[in-house]
Amino acid sequence: MEDQIETVEGEECPICHEKTCTLTQMRRMIPWIDKDIPIFVFSMTCSSCKYHKSDVEFEQEGEPVKYTLDVESEEDMKIRIIKSGEGTVKIPHIMTIESGPTSNGYITNVEGLLKRVEQAIKQAMEASEEEEDKKKMKNMLKKLTKIMWGQEKQRIIIEDPTGNSAIISPKAVKSKL
């Protein structure tokens, strides 16, 4: 089945209230471990104020879920991750990405997730005025590089009360939240 995309333009933006918001909904088949599963990807983008919000939902409702993945090699960077706006990502000793009203959902892989974390750390490092904090963040960036090169192991945990997040790999351990 091909991706099905619906777009509505000229909607009112929830931030600037201009009628310059484009809403997009895409139904997409995602290869799962033993079958393909349908998901919906939603996005809202305002051409006036540049507001953007996106989310991901499975076509069928899920139970609250927790996924745990031990990243052990460079090959693990390719493992697919689906994170809904309600999902919380925990990377112990590095960062937690909390869910909330401004949290975006996305489909990525382990490398893409770690690149997002890397960007967040770099932004925080630039904003920080404390040398001790900058030093800690620099060490986190070094650790991330080692993880991405398969030189250091790291656990990634995703918890989602809506069941709309997943780590698609036989290596991932799925449990109830």
Domain harbouring 98, CATH code: 2.60.120.1040
Number of domains observed in the structure of the chain: 2
Task: Indicate if 135 and 85 belong to the same structural domain.
Answer: yes
Question: 4: which residues sit within 8 A by CB, 6+ positions away?
Answer: 26, 27, 28
Same domain assignment for residues 46 and 85: no
Q: 146 lies in which domain range?
A: 61-177
pLDDT at 23: 93
Give phi and psi for 50, each to the nearest 5: 70, 15
**Do residues 26 and 106 share a domain?**
no
User: Which pLDDT score, from 0 to 100, does residue 81 have?
Assistant: 93
Q: Which of 60, 86, 104 is the last residue of a domain?
A: 60
Same structural domain, 125 and 71 = yes
CB 158 within 8 A of CB 83: yes
Which pLDDT value is given to residue 78?
95
Let me know: does 110 contact 77? Beta carbons within 8 Å.
Answer: yes
Do residues 136 and 162 both lie within one domain? yes
Same domain, 135 and 172: yes
Which of 42, 60, 78 lies at the terminal end of a domain, its last residue?
Answer: 60
Residues 152 and 78 in one domain: yes
Sign of CA pseudo-dihedral 111, 116, 118, 119: positive
Q: pTM for this one?
A: 0.78
Say if residue 99 is in the same domain as residue 40.
Answer: no
**Per-residue pLDDT, 40:** 84
Same domain, 95 and 159: yes
Q: Of 27, 45, 60, which one is at a domain's C-terminal end? A: 60
Q: Which residues of the chain have pLDDT under 70?
A: 1-2, 31-35, 101
